[in-house]
Amino acid sequence: MLPSWIASHRFVAAAVAATLVLGLGTAADAGLFKKTPPPPTYTAEELPDLVPLKGENQIAKQWQRTPVYYRSTYPAGTIIIDTSDRYLYLLIGPGKAIRYGVAVGRDGYTWEGSMKITKKTEWPDWRPPADMIARAKKEGKTLPAVVQGGPGNPLGARALYLGNSEYRIHGTNAPKSIGQNASSGCIRMLNEHVIDLYSKVPVGTRVVVIG
């Protein structure tokens, strides 16, 4: 019997056609999604006994940081984001991952692909992209050119920048949005979660987004 605190998860093997269409990855990345995952190689050894993070009670238990079994063709250290389930997985070994609940893009703003973390920033400034400013203007709203980093900033406590795109994995000052389709394409995490992830992954980490 596995320890009761270990969450089970369906194993994912999905083809990401948009990887090439959007230019977010390479042919090798797309090919990995088309391969059938290998048989599980893990044993019933215990995953890390993670102590609940202070502040996690702001979100439902299903979105809190949880060790899970998760089979993947990617090596430990890779981040996989499943936008359909609204979870981010940090692979930590064969068949093992740490799972975090996230907020993902609204309808029309979801995407799939493979990129690397190119920059990490603590308490980042927020500079709304031009298309977001234009959309807000059509709705009769005016967005500032820049919002200084801090507790009231929409990017929250940390930001992990993906490739040369405008997409980021970042914190949020709206914890109730976790588990929802709520963003313009960025991946939102509870501030406590993004601080934890930030401490575990370096620049250059591969991030794979599937739908």
Q: Is 119 a catalytic residue?
A: no
Q: Which DSSP symbol is given to 196?
A: H
Plot region of 150 (φ>0 → left; ψ -120 to 50 → alpha; else → beta): left
Residue of 186, 201, 207, 210 with catalytic role: 186
Q: Which DSSP symbol is given to 183?
A: E
Q: Is 192 a catalytic residue?
A: no
Let me know the angle formed at the C-alpha of 16 by 195 and 128, rounded to the nearest 5 degrees.
45
Q: How far apart are CA 73 and CA 94, in angstroms?
A: 9
Q: What is the DSSP string of 80-145?
A: EEETTTTEEEEEEETTEEEEEE-BEEPTT----EEEEEEEEEES--B---HHHHHHHHHTT----S
Contact in structure between 185 and 110 (CB atoms under 8 Å): yes
Residue of 86, 168, 170, 188 with catalytic role: 170
Positions marked catalytic: 170, 186
